[in-house]
Amino acid sequence: MATEAKLLSTIEDKLYVVQYHHAKESHISVDQDICRNCSIDRICLTICPARVYEQHEDGGEIVVNYENCLECGTCWVACTEGAIDWRNPQGGFGVRFRNG
């Protein structure tokens, strides 16, 4: 019984409850020119609950891991600079929640 009641403690555990049907192309794009001049310290790196956005290891461009996207749109709303173009995936692609 205790193993059934395992708490979801890491982001990976939480993302496990989501089924993905990935499109071949990203439904998210980032204007790197706008992003370089971000006045709010690249909020996309911390606001996304699925960690879709990462800063490239050289400290430059933002890398988009669209395959992890939960389609909540938080990034699009939070990016006040307008660097993120987020749209719903087309043609039946996207997420399907297993427990919901």
Could you report the per-residue pLDDT of 54-79, keeping only the tens digit for each?
Answer: 988 887 789 999 888 888 889 989 99
pLDDT for 5 equals: 46
Domain at 26-97, CATH class: alpha beta
Report the C-alpha gap between 51 and 47 in whole angstroms: 8
pLDDT for 89 equals: 73
Task: Over range 40-61, report the average pLDDT.
Answer: 86
pLDDT for 67 equals: 83
pLDDT band at 4 (very low <50, low <70, confident <90, very high): very low
pLDDT for 98 equals: 61
How crowded is residue 63: how many other Cβ atoms within 10 Å of its Cβ? Answer: 12
Q: What is the DSSP string of 31-99?
A: -HHHHHT-TTS-THHHH-TT--EEE-TTS-SEEE-GGG-----HHHHH-TT--EEE-PPSTT-EEEETT
Radius of gyration of the chain (CA): 15
